[in-house]
């Protein structure tokens, strides 16, 4: 094996280990993909994934919708968001299941239809381990306006630069995680795609053909029944 090949292998291993350590050092906020019919309603789930040692005591977020065109209509957050995720046992379960503070939970349009702000905090004012995958939010959506074409993709993403977006590792003001000087944990955000599709409606000619087939099938059954009665032997 040549020296150049060995060097490339060593470099690839170093880059791979660095990338893995960077990913593992962050909470992963993953917006799932979803689909709904044109002028319909639906939701998209957002998952939070952590590793051993990660904790969470409170969080806030701002999500945005992008990708609208003149032919796509608008994908919007619903004005009133239900709090169904607070009771969702999963899998994956809601991150604060069983220790939610109804007074802290909030999720509403952030001044326009394509921005949603909200968050939640533990009722116990402490933190919980987030080793694994959890449900962070369930974003309720609606499509408004005509859709020209068969489908269109919108993007739903977490606005990491928003002052509303934070993940407090220990909400208890009297303590910090061991070795941590900043309560706010780092995170990596992954966007999701919501596909809006037009409902398939048969053309009038197709409907007429289906009707003829149904009528033809009914007549054929009746003819077979008559013929079977005529040729049946007398007993």
- Asked whether residue 181 carries a pLDDT value surpassing 50, the answer given is no
Average pLDDT over the chain reads 78
Beta strands in 55-205 (DSSP E): 55-56, 58-66, 74-77, 106-109, 115-121, 128-129, 132-144, 151-158, 166-168, 187-190, 192-197
The predicted-structure confidence for 8-22, as pLDDT tens digits, reads as follows: 333 334 333 333 333
Give the range among 30-34, 135-139, 169-173 with minimum mean pLDDT.
Answer: 169-173
pLDDT for 115: 96
* More confidently predicted of 2 and 104: 104
Contact indicator for 138, 156 with CB cutoff of 8 Å: no
Distance CA 33, CA 43 (A): 10
DSSP state at residue 230: H
The predicted-structure confidence for 106-127, as pLDDT tens digits, reads as follows: 888 888 999 999 999 998 878 8
State the pLDDT confidence band at 32, using cuts at 50, 70 and 90. Answer: very high
pLDDT for 76: 96
Which DSSP helix (H) or strand (E) runs through 15?
helix 3-24
The predicted-structure confidence for 151-164, as pLDDT tens digits, reads as follows: 999 999 999 999 99
Contact indicator for 91, 74 with CB cutoff of 8 Å: no
């Amino acid at each position: 094996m040549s020296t150049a090949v060995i060097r490339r292998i060593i470099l690839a291993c170093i880059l791979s280990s660095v990338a893995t350590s960077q990913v593992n050092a962050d909470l992963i906020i993953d917006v799932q993909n979803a689909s709904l019919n044109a002028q319909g309603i639906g939701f998209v789930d957002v998952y939070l994934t952590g590793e051993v040692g990660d904790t969470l005591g409170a969080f806030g977020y701002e999500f945005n919708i992008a990708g609208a065109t003149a032919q796509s209509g608008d994908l919007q957050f619903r004005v009133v968001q239900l709090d169904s995720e607070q009771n969702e046992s999963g899998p994956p379960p809601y991150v604060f299941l069983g220790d939610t503070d109804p007074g802290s939970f909030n999720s509403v349009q952030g001044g326009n239809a394509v921005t949603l702000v909200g968050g939640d905090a533990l009722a116990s004012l402490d933190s919980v381990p987030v080793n694994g995958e959890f449900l962070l939010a369930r974003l309720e959506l609606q499509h408004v306006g005509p859709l020209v074409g068969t489908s269109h993709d919108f993007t739903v993403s977490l606005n990491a630069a928003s002052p509303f977006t934070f993940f407090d590792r220990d909400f208890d003001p009297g303590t910090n995680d061991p070795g941590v000087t900043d309560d706010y944990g780092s995170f990596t955000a992954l966007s999701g795609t919501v596909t809006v599709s037009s409902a398939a409606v048969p053309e009038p000619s197709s409907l007429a053909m289906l009707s003829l087939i149904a009528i033809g099938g009914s007549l054929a059954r009746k003819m077979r029944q008559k013929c079977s009665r005529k040729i049946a032997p007398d007993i």
